[in-house]
Amino acid sequence: MTVATQQDNLQLLADNLQEHLRADVPSGEFFGVRCAVKNHQLMILTQHPQGVAVDTENIFTVLKEALSNNSREYPQEKVEIFLRVAGVKLPYSKRSLTLEKQYGAPKLEEAEEDNSIPDSSALTYSPVNETEDDFSNSLAQNPLPEDSQPNLAGFNPKLIVLSMLGVMICATLGGAYVATRPCLITTCTQLKTAQYLDNSYGELIKKINSEQDLARLQRKIDKANTNLRQIPGLSPYSQESQQLSLSLSDKSSEIQKVFTAFQAAQIAEQKSKTPASSLKQLQDRQRLWRQAISPLEAINSDRELYQFAQEKLRNYRANLQAVNALLQKEDKYTKKITSAKAVAIVAEKRQATARSLQDWQKVQATWQVALNALTPIPAKSPAYSDAQKLISEYKPRLLAAKNRTTKELMAAKTYRQAVNAVSLAKRYERQNQWTQALMQWQTAVSSAKQVATSSLYSVEAEKIITPASVSLEQAREKLRIANRIQKTRSDLERTCSGEIRVCTYIMGNQGITVRISPDYEQNLQENLLEASTQGDTSIIDGVNNHLQTLQQALEAISDNADVPLIVYDAQGNVIYERTLN
């Protein structure tokens, strides 16, 4: 057997032993295994990090069983097993075994003496007699010997016989090697075993009733996978074994997810046996239950382990929910205090920069939020006294914000009334509706004066008062004039109306213009002609009196309206004119 082949076998053996430790030993994933041969004796070094709980007797038992299953893979009969802590030079425990080679089931005998190194579950440091250099040298790989060049000088016929004998020996040994390698010329039992596990995996999972059953199944799968890896590349089963190895590795990896969950759950259960004394302890337990749940949730519903994982998940989730409830109960009131303080800081900042009604409404709402966070804290809570101190501090701030908001709300309302009144007054003025315009100017002035002087709208309200007051007086004068004109029109209409229309009139900026109607003038002429014909002076006196009364009425209208008056006859001739003094 070449040195390279020996190193390959030792590496396979180390991998196999490490898989058994991972399956059968708690925290087995933290153990590392190395194998070496020294003086025809197999030496196995198992090491682990500081702080890992170790049951040395269990480890030696697992390794012994694993060696019994792999005894055909190495020729050594003497086996030395060492245990040490990673980073420590010397091992703290050692076990010597004697392997008896048989054609039947291999038998492994344990040496009576343990080289004076006591087994203990505690990591008591008891160094063995071997030095670190000897031990390291025994585990180091030996370099291959250099090939020497054949010397053909002095050819001897005896060399032919020796050469032929060497060829025969090599052929014999080579044939023996081929015969002993798995799945080369014999039936491949390793492949059949792996195929059975792969095909029956679903049924085997259904029979799992405990974590120990699952551990035994994983150990079988890992052992079968290790045997598959030993099938050489020259084997006709090589490609099939590689594919099967991938499938088994996937199943073992899935089982390992379950064991990862188990380990976190065991730690959480152990910690839960004593009541938590702090919030941090509850948070640690919450983290452990989440670590237990996470790998199980990663198992898809189409996987064989799904139902098994779901049963565990229900329990783990219930435990996590219980921890969450405790956390929520212990943490809720503390968070309310913290939240109220944070909200109060925001309220103070908003109050310092408030420049509008909306700003003050936000200030009021923010103080209210801070108080709402504190009021549910019950008297039995340790946070109650702190909450009451904050409530007594925040309530006056909320009341002040409410008063200021109300004040700004009223100021905004009256200011908007003033602005709207100004707009309506201007519109009525354009329509010469002076009564309505006068009323709106009065509303504008009154509303602007009602705006509180300390409010945000006081400056804008002051800008309205003066011009609105001026416009109010102007509107009042315009209304007076309009009323006077309206009265003048009424008087003119009453004077000019009759059975026969006496006159028509026009009122303008220049005064009153009156024109005697043609019908009325014709009627007067007819009356005067009749009086002249009959010689009746009373008719003439009546006509003159009527004309004089008309003139006096028009003069009175002109005087009341304080405007000039011009009277025209039906032909357009001025018959009377009155000017202002």
pLDDT tens by residue, 341-395? 999 999 999 999 988 888 999 999 999 999 999 998 877 666 777 889 999 999 9
Q: Does position 107 have pLDDT exceeding 70, yes or no? A: no
Give per-residue pLDDT as tens, 126-168: 333 444 444 444 444 433 233 333 333 333 444 333 444 443 4
Q: What Cα–Cα distance (Å) separates residue 415 from each residue in 8, 358, 444, 545?
A: 96, 15, 9, 63
Q: Is the pLDDT assigned to residue 106 strictly greater than 50?
A: no
CA separation for the pair 402, 334 (Å, rounded)? 28
Residue bearing tokens 């565990």? 312
Cα dihedral 470/474/480/483 (nearest 10): -130
CATH number, span 3-143:
3.30.300
Domain spans in the chain, listed from the N-terminal domain onward: 3-143, 192-326, 354-496, 499-578
User: In the predicted model, what is the mean pLDDT of residues 111-140?
Assistant: 38
Q: Beta-carbon neighbour count of residue 562 at 10 Å?
A: 10
pLDDT of residue 180: 47
Q: What is the pTM of this model?
A: 0.35
- Name the pLDDT band for 408 (thresholds 50, 70, 90): confident
pLDDT of 112 reads 36
Q: To the nearest whole number, what is the mean pLDDT of the chain?
A: 78
Helix%, strand%, coil% for the chain, nearest 5? 65, 10, 25
Token code pair at residue 385? 């006294």
